Amino acid sequence: MKPVTKITILLFFILIIIGCNNTNKGSYKPPFYESDSLRIVYYKLNSSERYSETIMLSKEELKNCINYTYSYKNLQESNDSISFYKDSIVLNNRKINFLQDKTYLNGTRETLLRKYEVDYIYNSLNLFFNEKNKLVMSRSISANIVVEYYNKSDPSNIHSLILKDSTFFEPEW
């Protein structure tokens, strides 16, 4: 082989190696993951018995969605997974439907809540989310079970404001 051909082939392979190493450096973003504990209170509506537990809330930011996993100890055997996509929200592989939103004034602070519903074969749920997509409250319509989620960013009386609001808290499905 001529020396010019050897140099050309060598340069070609060097360019391929450099190109392959630089191609995907900026395109891969590892998922962001964090978890924290969260206090919940659950009870049957119009009952004096209330139960409290501390659960784990995990947040995972993926390429196409943000996923929250609520890991319970006593409330239920399985975890709840809520995924926020650009154009939809999914609870445990079931798309939830937007119903309405409402802004509550708490002193000088406004809190926006969004109400959604999800239908299952034997049960329907109403879910209440804050503006940061954190679950504030859920209501099982057929079993009349309410679960209050105590997020650090929510006003301390937000649950009582929702419960007192007969229009917003009214079960919908």
Decide if 158 contacts 136 (C-beta within 8 A).
yes
Residues 64-113: pLDDT tens digits?
999 999 999 988 888 999 999 999 999 998 999 999 999 988 777 889 99
Nearest CA-CA partner of 150 in 54, 33, 49 = 54
pTM: 0.78
- Residue 8 pLDDT > 70: no
Question: Rounded to an integer, what distance in angstroms lies between the CA atom of residue 144 and that of residue 92?
Answer: 20
Backbone Cα Rg of the chain: 25
Give the pLDDT confidence score for residue 168 in this predicted structure.
81
Backbone phi, then psi, for 103, in 5-degree steps? -105, 130
Written in H, E and C, the secondary structure of 71-107 is ECCCCCCCCEEEEECCCCEEECCEECEEEEEEEEEEC
Residues 157-169: pLDDT tens digits?
889 889 888 888 8
H/E run at residue 5: helix 3-23
Decide if 95 contacts 88 (C-beta within 8 A).
yes
Give the pLDDT confidence score for residue 105 in this predicted structure.
85
The two structure tokens encoding residue 61: 């930011």
pLDDT-based confidence at residue 10 (cuts at 50, 70, 90): low
Between residues 4 and 144, the one the model is more confident about: 144
Give the pLDDT confidence score for residue 108 in this predicted structure.
78
Give the pLDDT confidence score for residue 145 in this predicted structure.
92
Between residues 172 and 49, the one the model is more confident about: 49
Residues 13-62: pLDDT tens digits?
555 565 555 545 555 555 666 778 899 999 999 899 999 999 999 999 99
Backbone phi, then psi, for 6, in 5-degree steps? -60, -45
